[in-house]
A and B are shown apart, each in its own frame.
Chain A
Amino acid sequence: MSQMVQTLITGTLVGGLYAVFSLGLTLPWGLLRVLNFAHFAYVFLFAYITYELAAVHHLDPLVALAVTIPFGALLGIVTQALTSKASLDTFGTLIATFGLFLILQAAMSLYWTNDLVRIPLTDNPYFVRAWHVGPYTIPFVYACAFASAVVLCVGSYFLLERSYTGKAIRAAVQDPQIAAAFGVNRVRVSYLIAGVAGTSAAVAGGFLAMLFALTPSGAQGWVAVVFASVLLGGLGNPRGTLGAAIIVGVAEAMTQRYVDPTLAKLTPLALLIVMLLVRPTGLFRPAVRIGQT
């Protein structure tokens, strides 16, 4: 029984990491109709930067977040500026950002090589730190990731649903021209969303560096999990993404624990396929109902 609870705990916390990762993909996709495939490369880029800061310059990885987050926001904004200038449809953005993804991945491979790099324990003491509550272990880094997921996702939710800015954003997505007539500055609003997406990339990258060994081709391994969380959660729906990511995380942890670690990769895929067949709009409501994509 306690094994099951431990698995639930681990799965939920891992889901937090997935949520942070997925937020940067779902917000631009749902609200700005930009499918930014390069987001995967962004996360790894910030992971590598965190590694560089921690392993080479001996900066505390958590402190490194303070450095990477502003750059993340900036990167998000720049991406948005470029994609909006290119005026592509959603698919076009997918392909164009895919090209960007290839470029970034190769650049990372050039600089950091294909070797697996990991922040040494001496520079990353958080890795082994864990809280022991009764028979249960709560790893420190995962808990931090979960906390930031809650902050980012719930924060985005409040931004979108409760604030005036959020209403402006949703109006701009539903009908840009009328929204503009009402005084919504579409450009600024889009930069805000992109900034949040970029921030989530930086945060996710930071935690990735603290938890895993990095290699440029590792980005591919996250595609299934992230797309599953994004689609299950409803496009552009931050709370939905958090919930969906937790579901994916728990399902994966259960498979790893009770079935087979290598089959764990199949779980998000299976969820994704079932979801696409049964409820393509996701378990949760998408942020904005748009007729035709």
Chain B
Amino acid sequence: MTSTGPLAPSPLTRRPTAIKLAAAAAVLAVLALLPVIEGTGRNSSYLIVYLYFVFFWVTQSTSWNIFSGYAGYFSFAQGAFYGAGVYTTVLLVEHLHMSILLIIPIGGLVAGLTALLTGLIVFGIRSLSGEIFALFSLSLGLGFGVLANNVNAIDGGSGRVLGQVSYPAWLGSVNQMLYVLALVLAVATVFCARAIQHSRMGYGLAAIRDDEHVGGTLGVPTLRYKLMAFSIGAMFAGASGALHAVLINFVTPDAAFGQQVPFYVIVMSVIGGRRHWLGPVLGATLIYTTNDRLTNLGMVELNQILVGLLLTVVVVGLRAGIVVQLFRRPAATAVAAAVAVLIVEVTGRGGDVITTFAWAMLSGVAILLVPDRVYQMTVRHRPRWWRLGRLTAARDETASPPKPRVSGGLR
């Protein structure tokens, strides 16, 4: 199944083309320079704060996906690793006043080691099924929360004030520092996810996802790959959590080990698509941006309803997630987004960049949700310069046979 799908290792996807590299570099350059442009202190822009959160969720979702998406073992333990990172910061700042640059890797290490130990215990169980592992991970996350709530050395339940965290002055204001470090973490995580996906280990994880017993029989080192993926994912989760503690600044066991992070990373990755590294990125950006805009309007509950709806719809309808569908209809999605941006700007409804961006994404998603039959009917006659779309459609595992073209019409 994976040998002919859009995610198959083929010359086109294994090495990024020059165009893709340039595009990625351009995006990164803009993002990197943003904090300088946007100002500091009281004049600092909300855009930096918003983007920090996008990077945070991208990191969390991608790190979760490295194990749970690639290997297919749904883990509810993201909260445990993220929270471990958070409390690492709390304890290190309180007792040793360390700089955040040192704390982040330590937080990652703590989380990674926790995952490694847990994995060694759990993956050894002979009859470990997906559900059992899911429940085990759920208990792990909840258990850490209760521990933090009761052990006074960690927290004791009343919360910890983080105070001022030291960091090198050249990073700018606190918001700028958070932004830059989060960007670095996000890029690192996504880069790592991509590297794993296209590596031998990635194929091994895919084999585990498809059928672990068969894979094991064929020589895939299942235990090693699972441990590695689990630990690497946890490591990024912990590092990201360690940084996030600075933002939360008043840390409670609820904030660190609550259900928000573990549940949302699952939602973001499932909606985005679990088989490709781009999936969690898209899912995280989409969900968080919608969340942000709706919070602005005070519609917190509506946001949760939309997320739940999207999740159910995607799981039932778009089983592989948005990213797969996106590869099948890239041009249409891009056009829809562009049109949305145009409309929003022209009618002056945008207000700011984030809102416009949100509309663009939602329009793109709307296109992706259009059922295949309707889509084929309306874009049956595609002009020449949209050949890219045809190419992906041809490689599509569920593509219908080519429809007859109207003769004499423009191609």
Q: Which residues of A contact B (CB under 8 A)?
A: 35, 86, 88, 90-92, 94-96, 98-107, 109-110, 220, 223-224, 227, 231, 260, 262-263, 265-266, 269-270, 272-273, 276-277, 280-281, 292-293
Q: Nearest chain A CB to B218's CB is how many angstroms away?
A: 18
* 14 pairs, CB–CB < 8 Å, chain A vs chain B: A92-B316, A96-B312, A98-B311, A99-B307, A99-B310, A99-B315, A102-B307, A103-B312, A106-B305, A107-B305, A231-B132, A260-B150, A263-B150, A273-B139
Q: A107-B301, A107-B305, A273-B143 known; A100 and B312 CB under 8 Å?
A: yes
Closest 8 CB pairs of A and B: A102-B308, A99-B312, A99-B311, A106-B304, A103-B308, A106-B301, A99-B308, A293-B129
Closest B residue to A105 using CB positions: B304
Q: Which secondary structure dominates where chain A touches chain B?
A: helix
**CA A56 – CA B371 in complex, angstroms?**
45
Instruction: List residues of chain B with CB within 8 A of the CB of A223.
Output: 138, 142
Q: Quick check: B139 and A269 within 8 Å, CB to CB?
A: yes
Question: Which among B129, B142, B149 is the interface contact of A224 at CB below 8 angstroms?
Answer: B142
B121 located at the interface, meaning its Cβ lies under 8 Å from any Cβ of chain A in the complex:
yes
Q: Quick check: A90 and B302 within 8 Å, CB to CB?
A: no
B interface, size bucket: 35 or more
Q: Nearest chain B CB to A25's CB is how many angstroms away?
A: 12
**CA A223 – CA B262 in complex, angstroms?**
14
Closest A residue to B270 using CB positions: A95
Q: Quick check: B311 and A102 within 8 Å, CB to CB?
A: yes
**CA A292 – CA B130 in complex, angstroms?**
10
Q: Quick check: A86 and B301 within 8 Å, CB to CB?
A: no
Q: Quick check: A280 and B128 within 8 Å, CB to CB?
A: yes
Interface string of B102-144 (1 = CB under 8 A from A): 0000000000000000000110010111111011101110110
Q: Nearest chain B CB to A10's CB is how many angstroms away?
A: 21
Q: Quick check: A272 and B125 within 8 Å, CB to CB?
A: no
Instruction: List residues of chain B with CB within 8 A of the CB of A88.
Output: 315-316
Beyond the given pairs A91-B131, A99-B310, 20 more chain A to chain B contacts, judged by CB atoms under 8 angstroms and listed by A's residue number, are A99-B267, A99-B308, A102-B304, A102-B311, A103-B308, A109-B300, A224-B138, A224-B139, A224-B142, A262-B146, A262-B149, A266-B147, A266-B150, A273-B140, A276-B125, A277-B122, A277-B136, A280-B129, A293-B129, A293-B130
Interface string of B221-236 (1 = CB under 8 A from A): 0000000000000000
Closest A residue to B157 using CB positions: A262
Q: Quick check: A106 and B302 within 8 Å, CB to CB?
A: yes
Q: Quick check: B131 and A92 within 8 Å, CB to CB?
A: no
Instruction: List residues of chain B with CB within 8 A of the CB of A95.
Output: 266, 270, 311, 315
Instruction: List residues of chain A with CB within 8 A of the CB of B122.
Output: 277
B55 located at the interface, meaning its Cβ lies under 8 Å from any Cβ of chain A in the complex:
no
B195 located at the interface, meaning its Cβ lies under 8 Å from any Cβ of chain A in the complex:
no
Q: A266-B146, A270-B143 known; A103 and B135 CB under 8 Å?
A: no
Q: Nearest chain A CB to B338's CB is how many angstroms away?
A: 30
Instruction: List residues of chain B with CB within 8 A of the CB of A272.
Output: 135-136, 139
**CA A178 – CA B134 in complex, angstroms?**
31
Instruction: List residues of chain A with CB within 8 A of the CB of B130.
Output: 90-91, 293
Closest A residue to B121 using CB positions: A277
Q: Quick check: B134 and A269 within 8 Å, CB to CB?
A: no
B309 located at the interface, meaning its Cβ lies under 8 Å from any Cβ of chain A in the complex:
yes
Q: Nearest chain A CB to B291's CB is how many angstroms away?
A: 12
Instruction: List residues of chain B with CB within 8 A of the CB of A280.
Output: 125, 127-129, 132
Instruction: List residues of chain B with CB within 8 A of the CB of A110.
Output: 301-302
Q: Nearest chain B CB to A32's CB is how many angstroms away?
A: 14
Q: Which of A90, A109, A227, A276 lies at the interface centre, i.e. has the most chain B CB atoms within 10 A of its CB? A: A276
Instruction: List residues of chain A with CB within 8 A of the CB of B134.
Output: 91, 94
Closest B residue to A102 using CB positions: B308
Closest A residue to B271 using CB positions: A99
Q: Nearest chain B CB to A107's CB is how many angstroms away?
A: 7
**CA A293 – CA B301 in complex, angstroms?**
35
Q: A262-B157, A263-B146 known; A90 and B266 CB under 8 Å?
A: no
B74 located at the interface, meaning its Cβ lies under 8 Å from any Cβ of chain A in the complex:
yes
Q: Quick check: B301 and A269 within 8 Å, CB to CB?
A: no
B259 located at the interface, meaning its Cβ lies under 8 Å from any Cβ of chain A in the complex:
yes
Instruction: List residues of chain B with CB within 8 A of the CB of A224.
Output: 138-139, 142
**CA A98 – CA B134 in complex, angstroms?**
13
Q: Quick check: B304 and A103 within 8 Å, CB to CB?
A: yes
**CA A263 – CA B121 in complex, angstroms?**
24
Closest A residue to B311 using CB positions: A99
Closest B residue to A259 using CB positions: B150
